[in-house]
Structure 1
Amino acid sequence: MSDSGAAGPVAEAFQGQRERLHAVAYRMLGSHADAQDVVQEAWLRLSRQDAAAIGNLAGWLTTVVGRISLDVLRSRQARPEASYDDRLPELEGTAGGAAPEDDVALADSVGLALLVVLESLGPSERLAFVLHDLFGVPFDEIGQILGRSADAAKMLASRARRKVRASERPAASGREHREVVQAFLAAARLGDFEGLLRVLDPDVRLTVDTPGGLVVTLGATEVASSARMAAGAATRGGWVLVDGLPAVASWREDGSPLSVMSFTVVAGRVARISVVVDPVKLAAMNLPASG
């Protein structure tokens, strides 16, 4: 049963929580599709409950979404062939002509950079950190989800917080992000190998999401050697917003999207480039029909 056609106060209350629940699940799973599935499952579970007996609906739904998300994370961990380390956090694009200038317009509470850092956390650590630090859920409630004490949940969140701080260098502001990306694209167009090396982090990671799977290139020298791809995309495409930051999209002659390149900029250099060329995933992004 889909909640889209449901009516009544319970459905209305659920709809009021939907956006927040999706945000919780997305921060846990890094996938909008998986987050939608989790939220739908939460609705199905709510529809089988006596809603009048639920004292705190928001808390109850957060707990349910947390438990379902935790099960998904543990399932991923148990299946090495579907390891989360080999997945890309899903990109969500919005149309745009010139890239916005203001940091405020580009701000996102948790962007792609932090999602990448969260991949290094175990399921329990990730749940404790996301629910407490990002959504303010008390440790006693987190402990109930994990089947542990509040103190144990607090320790998990603290451990996760240390890992995040150790792994996460300050992300670029919106203006700096755009300037660094433009410098990368300009060097790529000119075939300026030294210029590319100056703007690339030595440990840069290029990931191309293709219909056949992910293709990963590591290191500034290797990525710089592949930079003609970026030059071609910039020539045929235009700016869009991906997860709140400027990215470059290109289109085919018939107006359908060909590729989207998003960038993570840290300390003035490109630390990660994510390219999506898989038509299925491109179709799921909110991109305009032409550049």
Structure 2
Amino acid sequence: MSDALAQAFEGQRARLVGVAHRMLGSRADAEDAVQEAWLRLARQDPAAIDNLAGWLTTVVGRVCLDVLRARRARPEASYDDGLSEIVVVEDVAAPEEDAVLADSVGLALLVVLDNLGPAERLAFVLHDTFAVPFDEIGEILGRSADATKMLASRARRKVQGTHSSGEERQRQRAVVDAFLAASRAGDFEALLRLLDPDVTWRTYGPRGLVVRVGAAEVVNHARRGARAAVTLRAATVNGEPGIVTWGPTGKLLGVMACTVVDGRIVEILSVSDPKRLSGVTSAPPPSSEE
């Protein structure tokens, strides 16, 4: 491979990783997909490629499609037990943090995308997020442009409503902040008011996944952890309002993301498994004041 072609590929790498990340929900899987595109490019005659960006997008799209279909066929082999990588940023309106949020895949959106068929997911992500024309997406799927447009439209209807406006995100943040304050104060009546009666709390701990259902069960679990000597901080976790927990020595102990609907928390996802936490991206360290 010529140096010029390798340099051109590197110029496309960030965009390709973004495409694959949104398709697969995992940075590691996205990097693998892009690496596969690199290997396939190395076996190609550069003179046969008229549009490198389009060619690479097509290859990455097909690789991602194969991965998604394999997950459907073998759900027990799904990535990381269905839990995507964790991206944490402080809730401070700084441009660099906005960029991190824009690049993360929100937990709620990821859940919706996982419910789409592989073809629907590819059509939606490539067209609605990266403005790839339907005829090019159709080539990846082996379908007509009109059929691909219908796939994207169907996927869009399923996804509709998962993206929150700025005002809605602020309202959701306020609910989680109130939950954080009630936890700190041990105000369990307030906790009950903030939780949907059928709230689900999924915790990924060292021994695996534990699921708790119902406001009373969630409050009882919060009560058991209320006396712990920890530092709690509001944060945004994979695009969702959440909480980060630190130990007295500054060790990261847990990350929590909350899904808020109509002013109440309907789902909590938390991670306390040290192995998983070791891969947390951009977790803010506790300040000396806390």
TM-score range (shorter-chain normalised) is 0.7 to 0.9
Cα displacement (A) at 1:245:
5.0
Q: Is the 8 A contact 1:169 1:267 kept in 2?
A: no
Aligned partner of 2:280 among 246, 270, 285: 285
Q: Superposed, which structure 2 residues align to 1:257-272 within 5 Å?
A: 257-272=252-267
Q: Is the 8 A contact 1:101 1:175 kept in 2?
A: no
In the alignment, residue 272 of structure 1 is paired with which amino acid?
Answer: E
In the alignment, residue 21 of structure 1 is paired with which amino acid?
Answer: L
In the alignment, residue 47 of structure 2 is paired with which amino acid?
Answer: A
Aligned partner of 2:49 among 51, 54, 67: 54
Q: Is the 8 A contact 2:85 2:279 kept in 1?
A: no
Corresponding residue for residue 205 of structure 1: 200
TM-score (norm 1): 0.83
Unaligned runs of 5+ in 1: 1-5
Q: Does 1:70 align with 2:62?
A: no
Aligned partner of 2:14 among 15, 19, 29: 19
For residues 85 and 97 of structure 2, what CA distance do their matches in structure 1 show? 20
Identical aligned residues as a percent: 58
Note the alpha carbon deviations across 1:127-175, whole angstroms, 9 max, x for none. Answer: 111111111111111111112222221121111112222x637466443
Cα displacement (A) at 1:56:
1.2
TM-score (norm 2): 0.83
Cα displacement (A) at 1:184:
0.8
In the alignment, residue 100 of structure 1 is paired with which amino acid?
Answer: V
Q: Is the 8 A contact 2:85 2:280 kept in 1?
A: no
Note the alpha carbon deviations across 1:22-65, whole angstroms, 9 max, x for none. Answer: 12111111111111111121112122222332111111111111
For residues 233 and 49 of structure 1, what CA distance do their matches in structure 2 show? 59
Secondary structure of 1:284's counterpart equals coil
For residues 230 and 102 of structure 1, what CA distance do their matches in structure 2 show? 32
Corresponding residue for residue 112 of structure 1: 107
In the alignment, residue 42 of structure 1 is paired with which amino acid?
Answer: A
Q: Is the 8 A contact 1:129 1:161 kept in 2?
A: yes
Q: Does 1:223 align with 2:218?
A: yes
Note the alpha carbon deviations across 1:166-212, whole angstroms, 9 max, x for none. Answer: x6374664433332111111222334333223222344332212233
Q: Is the 8 A contact 1:103 1:174 kept in 2?
A: no
Q: Is the 8 A contact 1:251 1:290 kept in 2?
A: yes
Relative distance call for 1:121 and 1:254 in structure 2 (3 A) is same
For residues 195 and 237 of structure 1, what CA distance do their matches in structure 2 show? 18
Relative distance call for 1:219 and 1:22 in structure 2 (3 A) is farther
Cα displacement (A) at 1:85:
11
Let me know the Cα RMSD of the aligned residues: 3.0
For residues 24 and 68 of structure 1, what CA distance do their matches in structure 2 show? 11
Cα displacement (A) at 1:249:
2.0
Q: Is the 8 A contact 2:134 2:148 kept in 1?
A: yes
For residues 38 and 285 of structure 2, what CA distance do their matches in structure 1 show? 33
In the alignment, residue 55 of structure 1 is paired with which amino acid?
Answer: D
For residues 234 and 184 of structure 2, what CA distance do their matches in structure 1 show? 16
In the alignment, residue 279 of structure 1 is paired with which amino acid?
Answer: P
Cα displacement (A) at 1:114:
1.4
Please, which moves more after superposition, 71-80 or 241-250? Answer: 241-250
Relative distance call for 1:7 and 1:184 in structure 2 (3 A) is farther
Q: Is the 8 A contact 1:101 1:174 kept in 2?
A: no
For residues 108 and 230 of structure 1, what CA distance do their matches in structure 2 show? 32
Secondary structure of 1:226's counterpart equals helix
For residues 190 and 233 of structure 1, what CA distance do their matches in structure 2 show? 12
Corresponding residue for residue 92 of structure 2: 100
For residues 229 and 15 of structure 1, what CA distance do their matches in structure 2 show? 50
Matched length: 282
In the alignment, residue 68 of structure 1 is paired with which amino acid?
Answer: V
Unaligned runs of 5+ in 2: none
Please, which moves more after superposition, 106-115 or 155-164? Answer: 106-115
